[in-house]
Amino acid sequence: MTVAMILTEKGRHVVTSPPETTMRNVAAELIRHGIGALVVVDDRGEVLGVISERDVVSAIATGGADALDQPVSDHMQTNPATAYENDTVDSTMQTMTIERRRHLPVLREGRLCGLVSIGDVVKHRIRVIEEEHRSMREYIAQA
């Protein structure tokens, strides 16, 4: 099972932001799209960082309401851990656990091609376990 399989199922659209966007606009985009994070990219589309709901809350908690007028580049997670389409779901889950990241940009040939969340990974893993369980029950019933 690979990350590409998750992206095939969920889609490859990624909400992105340039680094100069304000935190206020980032918060509005998160709400508008009903997502927990977006990827910060430069004008060439290269991944610069990830900004999550948690990062927005942290910025407000430490900087007050003024943080909302600051650029996302001041508060994003820089050099984020990434995944590749051919990575296994298990290795991706391990990366998320070790790096303590809930969202990983997915790259193909160095370019952004998707985003996976811990929810995507867990949902996929549960489905695989349920399929294995169903197959075992069918096998036992036939014996």
Q: How confident is the model at residue 25 (pLDDT cuts 50, 70, 90)?
A: very high
3-142 — its CATH code?
3.10.580.10
Are 3 and 87 contacting, i.e. CB atoms less than 8 angstroms apart? Answer: yes
- Summarize the confidence of residues 125-142 as an average pLDDT: 87
Q: How far apart are CA 20 and CA 70, in angstroms?
A: 8
- Summarize the confidence of residues 96-120 as an average pLDDT: 94
pTM: 0.85
Q: What are the C-alpha distances in Å from 60 to residues 23, 26, 53, 124, 133?
A: 9, 13, 11, 34, 45
Q: How confident is the model at residue 141 (pLDDT cuts 50, 70, 90)?
A: confident
Per-residue confidence (pLDDT) for residue 46, from 0 to 100: 92
Per-residue confidence (pLDDT) for residue 11, from 0 to 100: 93
Are 76 and 49 contacting, i.e. CB atoms less than 8 angstroms apart? Answer: yes
pLDDT tens per residue, range 38-86: 999 999 989 999 999 999 999 999 999 999 999 999 999 999 999 999 9
Per-residue confidence (pLDDT) for residue 112, from 0 to 100: 95
- CA angle 115–22–119, rounded 5-degree value: 25
